[in-house]
Chain A
Amino acid sequence: MNRQRPEPVQVVKHRRDAALKALVEGIPYARFLGISFERHGDELTSILNYHDALIGNPALPALHGGVTAAFLETAALIELEWQLLWSEVESGRIDADALSTETMPRMPKTIDFTVDYLRTGLPRDAYARAKVNRSGRRYASVHVEAWQDNRSRPFAQGTGHFLMPSTE
C-alpha cells in the first residue's frame, strides 16, 4: 500500500481559515453590519451580530428590512465565492497564505436578489445558510435562509442570481 498520508489537521485548518479570512476581510460593508462567518469543513454559517444600529422600527423593536436583505445577499454571495475559492485553494492552484484583497480572484456579481420576509426580525443575533442550486460557467442561482431562535422557523429567505467572473 502506497497511500498518501492525510495532511496534519493544523495545516488543513490553517489553509481553509486563511482563505475564508481573506475573502471576508475585504468587505467593509459586512464589517459595518457586524457579519461574521463560522466554518465547519466547507459549510459556512453567516452570523449577523446584533447591535442597535440594525434596528428599523424602534417601537417593536425589529431589525430593519434592509439589514435583513443585505445579510441574506452577503450570505448568498459569500457562499458562492467560498465554493469557487475552496476548489482553487484545496487543489493548490491558489496559495491561501498569499491571498489578500489585492490578489483575490475576480468574484461573481449580483444580477438580482429577491427577499421573502417571513417574520419580524427580532433584536438579537441572526444566522444564515446558503445553498448554491446552480453554478454554471456564466450564471449561478443561490438560495439562502435566515433564522434566529429556531432553525426550522426562518424569519427570511432569499434567492439571488449572479453573474460569474469571466475566465478569459
Chain B
Amino acid sequence: MKTAMSTTSPSRRDQARQFIEALPHCQALAMTVDAVGDGEAVMSMPYSENLIGDPKTGVIHGGAVSALMDTCGGTAVMAHPSGPAMTATLDLRIDYMRAAKPGNAVTAKAVCYHMTRSVAFVRAVAHDGDETDPVATATGAFTVQGARK
C-alpha cells in the first residue's frame, strides 16, 4: 500500500484514521481504523459476500485478509513517532493459520517494531473475534520517506 499525508503530531492519529478510511479500496472493503498508537494500528473489515473465496463454505478469500494486513501495516508505519511523510509496501508475507469464520469481521493489529531512515519493519496478526486464535500473521518491510529523525 502507498500512503502519504502531512504530519502535525497532535491530530496525527485522527488524520491517519480519516486518511486511511478515505482510500478508495479501503472504502470498497469497508475497512475501519479502530485504534492508532505510536507505531501501532488496529483495523477491521466486516464480512461481505463480495469477499468470498470459497463459495462452498462462504470463507473469505486470503487476498482480502492480505489487503487488510497491508493497509494496517502501512497505517502502523505512518503512526510511528518518527513521523514518516510517506510509505509504500516493499514486501509482505502472510501465513494463513486457518480459514476465517464465515460471517465474522476480521480484525488486524500491526506493530511497526523497528524503523530505520529508509525502511520500516512490521508485524501483524489477524483474528476473527478471539485474539488468541489468529486467522493469519504477517511480516512486512515498508519504505520510509521524509521521517523526522
Contact call A66/B25, Cβ cutoff below 8 A: yes
- Per-residue 0/1 for B1-16: is the Cβ within 8 Å of any A Cβ (1 yes, 0 no)? 1111000000000000
| A residues near B69, Cβ cutoff 8 Å | 66
Q: Which B residues, 1 to 35, have Cβ-Cβ distances below 8 Å to chain A?
A: 1-4, 23-29
User: B62: nearest residue on chain A (CB-CB)?
Assistant: A110
Contact call A64/B50, Cβ cutoff below 8 A: no
Q: Which A residues, 69 to 111, have Cβ-Cβ distances below 8 Å to chain B?
A: 69-71, 73-74, 101-102, 104, 107, 109-111
Contact call B52/A65, Cβ cutoff below 8 A: no
- The one of A28, A104, A110, A115 that contacts B52, using a Cβ cutoff of 8 Å: A28
Count A/B pairs, Cβ under 8 Å. 142
- Per-residue 0/1 for A109-123: is the Cβ within 8 Å of any B Cβ (1 yes, 0 no)? 111111111001000
A27 within 8 A of B: yes
B95 within 8 A of A: yes
Contact call A58/B23, Cβ cutoff below 8 A: yes
Q: Which A residues, 30 to 81, have Cβ-Cβ distances below 8 Å to chain B?
A: 30, 32-33, 52-60, 62, 64-67, 69-71, 73-74
| B residues near A26, Cβ cutoff 8 Å | 54-56
B68 within 8 A of A: yes
| A residues near B26, Cβ cutoff 8 Å | 56, 64
B41 within 8 A of A: no
B39 within 8 A of A: no
A47 → B minimal CB distance (Å): 15
B119 within 8 A of A: no
Residues of A in contact with B, size category: 35 or more
Contact call B24/A58, Cβ cutoff below 8 A: yes
- The one of B23, B61, B91 that contacts A57, using a Cβ cutoff of 8 Å: B23
- Per-residue 0/1 for B54-98: is the Cβ within 8 Å of any A Cβ (1 yes, 0 no)? 111000111110111111001000000000000011111111100
B114 → A minimal CB distance (Å): 19
Q: How far, in angstroms, from A70 to B60 measured CA to CA in the complex?
A: 12
B51 within 8 A of A: yes
User: B94: nearest residue on chain A (CB-CB)?
Assistant: A113
B53 within 8 A of A: yes
Contact call A112/B93, Cβ cutoff below 8 A: yes
B49 within 8 A of A: yes
| B residues near A27, Cβ cutoff 8 Å | 52-55, 61
Given A65-B1, A114-B92, answer yes or no on A29-B60 (Cβ-Cβ < 8 Å).
yes
User: A112: nearest residue on chain B (CB-CB)?
Assistant: B95
Contact call A113/B62, Cβ cutoff below 8 A: yes
User: B95: nearest residue on chain A (CB-CB)?
Assistant: A112
With a 10 A CB-CB cut-off, give which of B25, B71, B74, B94 has the most chain A CB atoms: B25
| B residues near A69, Cβ cutoff 8 Å | 63, 66-67, 70, 92, 94
Given A53-B25, A69-B92, A70-B67, answer yes or no on A29-B4 (Cβ-Cβ < 8 Å).
no
Interface residues of A (CB under 8 A from B): 26-30, 32-33, 52-60, 62, 64-67, 69-71, 73-74, 101-102, 104, 107, 109-117, 120
